Amino acid sequence: MARILPKTRGGGPRGSTPVRAARSHTIASMRRSLVLLAAAAVLAGAVPAGAKTRLEHFNTPSGRILCAYVSGGETFVRCDLLFLNDRAALLNAGRRGRLVRVTDAIGDIHAPVLRYGTSRAFGRFTCTSRTTGLTCRDRRSGHGFAVSRQRRRMF
C-alpha cells in the first residue's frame, strides 16, 4: 500500500518546497554560467590567460539583491535584482552604473550577507547596505548605483 506523505505549504513532501527546489536548480545554473562566462572571457581575450580572477559574492539581508564582485581583466560589481524580471545593476570600473537586462544569474543565495548599516570594500568599489536599499560606488571615479524595490538610481 502506498504511503501518503504529509503536505506542506509548498504542496510537496515535508522539507521540499518548490522554492527550495528552484533555488537549488538556480545555484547549479549560476555556477555553470560563471564557469562558462570565465572560459568565454579568456577565449575572447578579455581576461589574460595568466590573470588571477577574483570572485566574491554577497547579498542584502532581504535576500532580494544578490551581488558578485569580479576582478581580473574586467573589474565590476553586478547585483541581480530579484524583484525585477531579468534585470541587474552593473558597475564597471570607471563607468557609470547601468541597469542591464540579463539572461543568467551571478548571485549566490548562500553568500555572506552585507548587514544593514554596514559597508564593505571590494577592490576599488564600496557597497553599503541600508534598510532603504543598496549603494555601490567606484571610489576612484565616483560612479555607481543605488537600488531598492522602490527606485533605481545610476550615477
pTM for this predicted structure = 0.69
pLDDT of res. 48: 53
Whether residue 6 is contained in a domain is answered as no
Q: How far apart are CA 75 and CA 58, in angstroms?
A: 16
Q: How many domains does the chain have?
A: 1
Which cell is 94 given?
570607471
pLDDT of res. 11: 46
Whether residue 1 is contained in a domain is answered as no
The pLDDT tens digits for 111-155 are: 999 999 999 999 999 999 999 999 999 999 999 999 999 999 999
Which cell is 89 given?
545593476
Whether residue 104 is contained in a domain is answered as yes
Question: Hey, which residues does 90 pair with through a beta bridge?
Answer: 78, 98
User: 75: domain range?
Assistant: 18-154
Q: Positive or negative CA dihedral for 72, 74, 77, 82?
A: negative
Whether residue 116 is contained in a domain is answered as yes
